[in-house]
Amino acid sequence: MRMTAIIVACALIVTPAFAQTTGVPGTNDLTVNGNGSGATSCFVQTGFSGPTQYDFAITGIPGDFVVMATNVTAGGCVPGALPFGLGNSLDLSPGLGFAIWYGSILGLPAFGPPGLPFATDVINSNGDWALTITADIPPALSEISWQGAVIGPSHAVGFMMTQAHQFNIITVAPPTQICANASSITLIGGTLSDDGFFAYTFMNATGFPFYGTLHTNVYVNMNGNLTFCTGDSDFSPTELEMADDQPRIAPLWTDVTPSAATQGDVLLYDDGTTFQAEWFDVRHFGTTLCDQSNGWQDSNNACATLDYASGLIMLDIGDVRRCLPPFGGDTTPEDLIVGISPGFTEATCGTPGTNNTATVDLATGFVVNSYTGASGDPIFEFFDTALTNPFDLSVPGIGGGSQITLSFVDNGSGDYTLF
């Protein structure tokens, strides 16, 4: 049987129009991404182009079947579009852009015409049904709407529609690699891991000069920074740690999780003249501090370039999408530090020092004029979760963050000038 046949048959026998305006908990209540319980059709949320996760859940009568439908046209969610009576209606326009899809058997297929064959899922003994899909939403799409139907003998017309959900789509630009020649550390024996690090020996035998000390190797830390002497798995940066822990170059020190299985990579390039490390398309860890459900929405990009001969350090800051409203569901993005620090005493890499912990306004130093630190002083900025110092080194939000380059020039006397 096809859903269109059910719709046509019921439309012939039911009483006049009455829009399906609310879900009924325990009977036909649909939530999408945890939102909209008992809501009015068409409940509006913000969606995103690109790979996007949708979490559907329906509470209903155990043993009832579930079918899902979608419409992908602008204005495709219309309360009462096809009434069945008794407060029951299809609230998606059944014309162009309408499709019924296979529930959890195939996930979301290519958007197709009405009348696709469908299969059903059964609501479990606890009265719950859930489905998670990842849909690659085309940038041309401005809206996508969803509605479910629960089918069973207890319903007056043999089934009952849930409330409909409408997602207004924001176009998300895919991330762009900053250091074009860099490639994954996995190609040279490195492993992507949460809070891990990778020890790397520079191709330049002389090494890289940092605050007056030559280093022949470096630790590439998954959480967006480079350290000398030892690796670092720290995912919660503080000003004191930046000043007094390992010597550090931090283009994006925050709690990110590069993973081949989900999203993001750490890339390296080294030709003996220049070394580069890039954290490409990396997500924040977990789902509570920064929503990961919307693909490129949580995509962070930064690259560190080291010139062996001059000691020049360039930090290219690309997209830093911190999931602030209205683009994400979180108001407390992760702490973030950008900059450089000699850390504890360079000569031994083992004795804590007393370096200046004062944060520097990198944007002012970069945009207005140069800034020169005192000998041995770090130059960095701390961006906090309380947003008393919000991130201002690229445009936060959805795609196209304005890339800037922070250049730290080695003056040869233990101090650096920021341009």
Q: Hey, how many other C-beta atoms are within 10 angstroms of the C-beta on 350? A: 9
pLDDT, tens digit (0-9, with 9 covering 90-100), for 68-82: 888 888 999 998 888
Cβ(49)–Cβ(170) under 8 Å? yes
Which residues of the chain are in CATH 2.20.130.20 domains? 3-170
The CATH code of domain 3-170 reads: 2.20.130.20
Give the span between the Cα atoms of 380 and 361, in whole angstroms: 8
Question: Tell me, what's the pLDDT at 328?
Answer: 42
Task: Give me 327's structure tokens.
Answer: 């683009």
Indicate the range of 48-62, 249-263, 283-297 predicted with least confidence: 283-297
Distance (Å, whole) CA 155 – CA 88? 10
Of 310, 304, 279, 303, the C-alpha closest to 210 is 310
**Assign residue 207 a region: left if phi > 0, alpha if psi is -120 to 50, beta otherwise?**
left
Output the average pLDDT for the chain: 76
Of the ranges 21-25, 78-82, 153-157, which one carries the lowest mean pLDDT score?
A: 21-25
Give the bridge partners for 54, in sequence order: 133
CA atoms in the 13 A half-sphere facing the CB of 56: 29
209-251 pLDDT, tens digit per residue, is 999 889 999 999 999 999 998 999 888 888 888 888 889 999 9
**CB 268 within 8 Å of CB 316:** no
pLDDT score, position 112:
34
Q: Indicate the pLDDT class of residue 274, thresholds 50, 70 and 90.
A: very high
Distance separating alpha carbons of residues 123 and 142, to the nearest angstrom: 31
294-329: pLDDT as tens digits: 445 567 889 999 999 999 999 998 877 655 443 344
State which H helix or E strand residue 54 sits in: strand 50-60
Neighbours of 120 (CB within 10 A): 18
